[in-house]
Copies of this chain bind each other. A is one copy, B any other.
């Protein structure tokens, strides 16, 4: 007797669409990344490869290639811009680890734990410089303007986060401004340069920028929820990292406002004073669940995801558009 597997008419959201769409381009991006991390100074490829090869999804460069495709770009500048975007992202991660004193990154020891803070700062600078060189090689001044402005906004967002750190009374708006800068701006820039090099009209550039910006916000909010195990608050690998580092993320912002005095004292002790004891993470997750802070964070993410999807409305249906819409669904669905 054959086992008949139930056929699910609504497929699980996945990144397969975009991965297929930009397969050839990403092979070129990966080759370029390898060649541009090369240096006679052996510590540079060592540090860079440690991070770059540690299995990020490379979502940002895929977005650059996919939006270039959506805009029917014909040249090869998208590959260099995509690699530049990934280098900017990697440089940010290296510098973030120093700023946050992180010990782990993507499940491996952070580069700074192996080569020291110095190497993380300087190799980050090297990658940022290489990113700009690749953009210059493409030679499109508008794309250069977008990406260099993004570099400024990202740094500004990180400093803003530093200044607001440990403030449990952060408002949702203030928090959104921080993640617009530190996460969503690079998504926005990565998506905007596609139609820019394709020399499409302003409305299409703006649409792709809006898609990237809102996708970036959704992506970060889902990450925030996942750090407490997603909307179902399941304990698991890496759960509680933000809590232990005293990071104020949206789940905390919501729970703090919805809580009573006793709970607020708890959040202040754990996150502002950094005094975390056994059982505190479990207690935190219990409070977050009681106030629906995790599921509402995911709801907020879904809201920004919906804006991202609508932003692409003016593009014709097709493989590229479908892949970009799937990315949004995938990002939001991660949190379940």
Judged by a CB distance under 8 angstroms, whether A54 is at the interface is: no
Judged by a CB distance under 8 angstroms, whether A98 is at the interface is: yes
Given A130-B152, A133-B149, also A162-B125 (CB < 8 A): no
Contacts of A39 in B (CB 8 A): 156, 159
Q: State how many angstroms separate the Cβ of A148 from the closest Cβ of chain B.
A: 4
Q: State how many angstroms separate the Cβ of A108 from the closest Cβ of chain B.
A: 20
Identify the closest chain B residue to A116 (Cβ): B162
Contacts of A144 in B (CB 8 A): 132, 136, 144
Q: Is the CB of B121 within 8 A of A133?
A: no
Q: Render A99-126 as a binary contact track against B, CB cut-off 8 A, 1 for contact.
A: 1000000000000000001110111011
Contacts of A139 in B (CB 8 A): 141
Within the complex, which residue of B42, B95, B125, B163 is in contact with A43, where a contact is CB–CB below 8 Å? B163
Q: Is the CB of A156 within 8 A of B44?
A: yes
Identify the closest chain B residue to A94 (Cβ): B121
In whole angstroms, what is the CA distance A334 to B335 when docked?
63
Interface SS of A by simple majority: helix
Identify the closest chain B residue to A145 (Cβ): B136
Judged by a CB distance under 8 angstroms, whether A285 is at the interface is: no
Judged by a CB distance under 8 angstroms, whether A169 is at the interface is: no
Q: Is the CB of B117 within 8 A of A95?
A: no
In whole angstroms, what is the CA distance A133 to B141 when docked?
10
Q: Is the CB of A136 within 8 A of B125?
A: no
Q: State how many angstroms separate the Cβ of A275 from the closest Cβ of chain B.
A: 21
Identify the closest chain B residue to A98 (Cβ): B121
In whole angstroms, what is the CA distance A154 to B124 when docked?
12
Q: Is the CB of B152 within 8 A of A133?
A: yes
Please provide the chain A residues from 159 to 174 with a CB less than 8 Å away from any CB of chain B in the complex.
159-160, 162-163
Q: Render A128-141 as a binary contact track against B, CB cut-off 8 A, 1 for contact.
A: 11101101110101
Judged by a CB distance under 8 angstroms, whether A1 is at the interface is: no
In whole angstroms, what is the CA distance A189 to B239 when docked?
47
Q: State how many angstroms separate the Cβ of A318 from the closest Cβ of chain B.
A: 32
Contacts of A126 in B (CB 8 A): 152, 155-156, 159
Q: What are 14 A-B contacts defined by CB distance under 8 Å? A: A42-B163, A44-B156, A95-B125, A98-B98, A99-B121, A119-B159, A122-B158, A125-B158, A126-B159, A129-B154, A133-B149, A136-B141, A136-B145, A141-B141
Contacts from A to B (Cβ < 8 Å): 39, 41-44, 95, 98-99, 117-119, 121-123, 125-126, 128-130, 132-133, 135-137, 139, 141, 144-145, 148-149, 151-156, 158-160, 162-163
Known: A41-B159, A99-B121, A141-B141. 15 other contacts (CB 8 A): A39-B159, A98-B118, A99-B122, A117-B117, A119-B162, A122-B158, A122-B159, A123-B155, A125-B151, A126-B155, A128-B128, A128-B155, A133-B145, A135-B148, A136-B148
Closest 5 CB pairs of A and B: A129-B151, A129-B152, A126-B155, A132-B148, A125-B155
